[in-house]
Amino acid sequence: MNEIITLCLEIIFWFALFIVFYTYLGYGIVLYVLVKLKELFVKPVKRSLPASDAGLPEVTLFITAFNEEDVIDEKMENSLELDYPADKLHIVWVTDGSNDGTNERLKTRWQGKATIHFQPLRQGKTAAMTRGMTLVDTPLVVFTDANTMVNREAIQEIVLAFQDPKVGCVAGEKRIAVQTKDGAAAGGEGIYWKYESTLKALDTRLYSAVGAAGELFAVRRELFEAMEPDTLLDDFILSLRITMKGYTIAYCTNAYAIESGSADMREEEKRKVRIAAGGLQSIWRLRPLLNPFRYGTLSFQYTSHRVLRWSITPFLLFALFPLNIAILLLGGSAIFYGVLLAMQVLFYGLGYWGYYLSTKQIKNKLLFIPYYFLFMNVNVLKGIRYLKKKKGSGAWEKAKRAEK
């Protein structure tokens, strides 16, 4: 009887280990191989912008903000320095519910440089986007956050990506400004986004990026779709609903937004829990995308890159340790499973050490990796409770960013 139970536990253990490996490393390997195979037969098409400014489309730079008085000047200076014809770039701020000096600052120092849409009622970022988009008439709309700075060439690079008629959304690259003094929050976040950027670039080369980040992304105006007011990941839902219409998301590494990492791990936890909850919400609302017979390659990418991370993988990751112990107690190979258990103990130990150093403000990039990895997966589990608690609310909940 013990042998049957042990065999069952071993099957579960190896299945869990495979899913964990595939989710975080295996998919990247498979993706790289598929891209290389594709590009042996299909060469990327090089596109170019119109020869004169007259041929360039008008673009709206769309900024949603809630109490962003401290960054208004820097954001406006950054926006006005973008390398795109001034008469074709329209800067729009939607500041629903702001009760600090955001609106006054925009109306005084920046009067005539930007259009401001304000309402006293705070309904959340998604509602603000939906309301603001009814007032936009340019063919292309670039969304960006108030606290992120965009590189000078970003708009041109985004417009270039839209030269492909199949592209309905362009995702810019998110970069974390990691300072020398930064701790685990900014350091871990920076490492995570570098890896994510690599996967997104490969996703695009295979077929389509899987979602866009709100710091910088753009859509064709006619493809914008009003979302449910309580949507937590508006950028993700909006961009993938565009792909469900038959368009693709282009990932543009030459258009990037820079922001500071979270001020500390407590603030980073708020962000990660909210994202995890939004991921679970998205899986339900985008459930047709799970059908590979309808969406083919996109379904494969979506499931591998997003769904597994936000659903079963964190549970399987934390199940590996007790499963390993149970197998040993029931007579599994002492040497083989003993080594695997020792490796897990070492990994959790390094993660805890990274946590300890972060509380002491001691920087160690090597230990940030296991700590941040475990931290992210724990927050996926916390996201379930958050989703239940915040059901029906779409109000902003901003995490504090590290000072520059």
List strands edge to edge, sheet with 59-64: 115-117, 89-94, 59-64, 140-145, 216-220, 167-177, 248-260, 149-150
Average pLDDT of 336-357?
93
Q: Which of 37-51, 205-219, 250-264, 345-359 has the lowest mean pLDDT?
A: 250-264
The reply to whether CATH 3.90.550.10 applies to domain 53-261 is yes
Give the per-residue pLDDT at 264: 62
62-90 b/e with 16+ CB inside 10 Å = b? Answer: bbbbbbbbebbeebbebbeebebeeebbb
Checking if the pLDDT of 210 tops 50, the result is: yes
Are the C-beta atoms of residues 23 and 105 closer than 8 Å to each other?
no
Residue 15 has pLDDT above 90, yes or no: yes
* Number of other CB atoms surrounding residue 14 within 10 Å: 12
Looking at 326-330, 375-379, 395-399, which range is the least confident one? Answer: 395-399
pLDDT at 92 over 60: yes
Predicted model pTM = 0.89
pLDDT of residue 178: 59
Q: Are 252 and 170 within 8 A, CB to CB?
A: yes
Of the pLDDT bands very low, low, confident and very high (cuts 50, 70, 90), residue 180 is very low
The mean pLDDT value for 205-217 works out to: 95
pLDDT(69) > 50: yes
When pLDDT is cut at 50, 70 and 90, the band that residue 288 belongs to is: very high
Those residues with Cβ within 8 angstroms of residue 280's Cβ, 6 or more apart along the chain or in another chain: 310, 311, 383, 384, 387
- pLDDT bin (cut points 50, 70, 90) of residue 225 is very high
Reply yes or no on whether the pLDDT at 116 is more than 50: yes
Confidence of residue 219 (pLDDT cuts 50, 70, 90): very high
Tokens of 24: 């975080």
Q: What is the DSSP string of 123-191?
A: --HHHHHHHHHTT--SSEEEEEETT-EE-TTHHHHHHHHTTSTTEEEEEEEEEEE--TT--HHHHHHHH
The C-alpha atoms of residue 147 and residue 365 are separated, in whole angstroms, by: 25
Residue ranges, comma separated, of all CATH 3.90.550.10 domains in the chain are 53-261
**Interatomic CA distance for residues 300 and 280, integer angstroms:** 18
Q: What is the average pLDDT across 101-112? A: 88
